[in-house]
Amino acid sequence: MNRLLDDNPFKLGIFASNVSHGATATTAEGTLEMTWPNTLEIALAADRAGFEALVPVARWKGFGGPTNFNGSAFETYTWAAGLAAATSHISLFSTSHVLTTHPIVAAKQSATIDHISHGRFALNVVCGWFQDEFDMFGLSLRDHDALYAYATEWLHIVRRLWSEDREWDFDGRFFHMSGGFSQPKPIQQPVPVMNAGASGVGARFAAQHADMAFTGIAAHEEDTGQARIAELRRLAREEFGRELQVWTSCGIVCRPTEREAEEFARYYIVEKGDWEAVASITRGRARYAPRPPQPSEPLRSPGWGSYLIVGTPEQVTDRMLRLSTLGLDGAVLSWVNYAEELAYWNTEVLPLLEQAGLREPFAGGVPVPI
Ligand SMILES: Cc1cc2nc3c(=O)[nH]c(=O)nc-3n(C[C@H](O)[C@H](O)[C@H](O)COP(=O)(O)O)c2cc1C
């Protein structure tokens, strides 16, 4: 069974462990350097600890600045294939830009990884937003809503290739196919699909077509986010007859004392944040604020910023409980130093999450024979 479907009330994934600096644009020491041993070490530690998923970032070019944030990025299908062979339990996502991968290639690559992993694959379908990287392909992202229409046809074709045995023709707005066919089928029927659309059109796409939606939680939404999450789930259920998992993404700074955690957060964000890279992200995404937080403001992590949790293991557990009561099914996590901080998480935070009833102790189980 794909671990995304396990019974844990609050599921956990690791985010961005396939790209340099992970999810955090900072020049602080210990950030993620993109080598195979580094990404493998994180995957194996997460697999052994019972994390549900590894979610990579699809990225073709970095964002400049002193870090050239995410400038070194493993391609996500081949990354997932390698990790599928090395791990035993965890679900492996590929994140696929719909414009850069033809649906026939996407369907076949996905089926291949599903076989390598014995049914642990999942697909994160993204439209893309960073024009600089699409310039390399000679592709334009200008028509945002048309991109989601393209993604709808793309995913329709992928799902037919995953499930239909006979050849079929397709004549759509973007794709014209004759004799569509793919074998072998994925082991999982169906393969779980995720989408992280944030706009009205994007969220609607997720509700209509995905099994998991990603939604960002802003600090001020700790009290109001509940209604938005419930609405997304209601849309999926009532308009499209689908049950939707809703996840978010969290940056974690966890230390034995609150003071140590806060000092480190301030250090990597205010002193060492790569705001030049963040400004480059801003040019692609207008809503991103291109400056370090001011003393009176809550800290915002530079990068795939997400919901920042800073504190002791007990405080982090309380914030996770809060996310769960907002109605979230899970979160993907990132740290400045993945290897060290994940080890600390596994020994100090996971047991508290279990005591809080958010997760069951991970029994492990017998690795599947190859
Ligand atoms: C957790 C998460 C992961 C994402 N991963 C990627 C990615 O790997 N590549 C990418 O181009 N966009 C990624 N995105 C961006 C979304 O796909 C989406 O484009 C963005 O949230 C804007 O929403 P919109 O497309 O509805 O305007 C991610 C977003 C989130 C929240």
For residue range 319-369, list pLDDT tens digits in order.
999 999 999 999 999 999 999 999 999 999 999 999 999 999 998 754 444
3 state SS for 101-154? CCHHHHHHHHHHHHHHCCCCEEEEEECCCCHHHHHCCCCCCCCHHHHHHHHHHH
Nearest Cα to Cα of residue 210 among 195, 225, 190: 195
Q: Closest ligand 1 atom to the C-alpha of 197?
A: 26
60 — phi, psi (to 5°)? -110, -15
Map tokens 């099914």 to a residue. Answer: 329
48 — phi, psi (to 5°)? -70, -30
pLDDT (0 to 100) of residue 239: 96
| Ligand 1 touching residue 197 (CB < 6 A) | yes
CA distance 2 to 12: 13
The H or E element spanning position 248 is strand 245-254
Ligand 1: which of 24, 94, 129, 280 to mutate, most ligand atoms within 8 Å of CB?
129
What average pLDDT does the segment 2-10 reach?
95
Among 46-60, 87-101, 297-311, the minimum mean pLDDT is found in 297-311
**Tell me: the pLDDT tens digits for 224-252?**
789 989 999 999 999 999 999 999 999 99
- Among 184-198, 209-223, 277-291, the range with the most confident prediction by mean pLDDT is 184-198
CA distance 223 to 80: 36
Q: Is the pLDDT of residue 370 over 80?
A: no
What average pLDDT does the segment 54-65 reach?
97
90 — phi, psi (to 5°)? -70, 150
> pLDDT band at residue 309, thresholds of 50, 70 and 90?
very high
pLDDT (0 to 100) of residue 292: 58
Q: Is the pLDDT of residue 290 over 50?
A: no
Which letter does DSSP use for residue 269 in this model? I
Q: Closest ligand 1 atom to the C-alpha of 201?
A: 26
Which letter does DSSP use for residue 54 in this model? E
% residues pLDDT > 90 (the chain): 83
| Ligand 1 touching residue 129 (CB < 6 A) | yes
**Tell me: the pLDDT tens digits for 120-175?**
999 999 999 998 899 999 999 888 899 999 999 999 999 999 999 999 999 999 99
Q: Is the pLDDT of residue 186 over 70?
A: yes
Please report, as a single letter, which amino acid is at residue 276.
E
**pLDDT averaged over every residue in the chain:** 93
> pLDDT band at residue 289, thresholds of 50, 70 and 90?
very low
> pLDDT band at residue 294, thresholds of 50, 70 and 90?
low
What average pLDDT does the segment 41-68 reach?
98
Q: Is the pLDDT of residue 76 over 60?
A: yes
CATH number of 3-265+307-355: 3.20.20.30
Among 53-62, 93-102, 355-364, the minimum mean pLDDT is found in 355-364
CA distance 185 to 168: 15
- Nearest Cα residue to atom 30 of ligand 1: 196
| Ligand 1 touching residue 305 (CB < 6 A) | no
CA distance 369 to 64: 43
Q: Is the pLDDT of residue 176 over 90?
A: yes
Distances (CA, A) of 218 to 174, 184, 195, 326, 344: 36, 42, 19, 12, 25
- Nearest Cα residue to atom 25 of ligand 1: 197
Q: Closest ligand 1 atom to the C-alpha of 15?
A: 1
User: How many whole angstroms from 124 Cα to the centroid of ligand 1?
Assistant: 9
Residue 297, number of CB atoms within 10 A of its CB? 10
Q: Closest ligand 1 atom to the C-alpha of 56?
A: 8
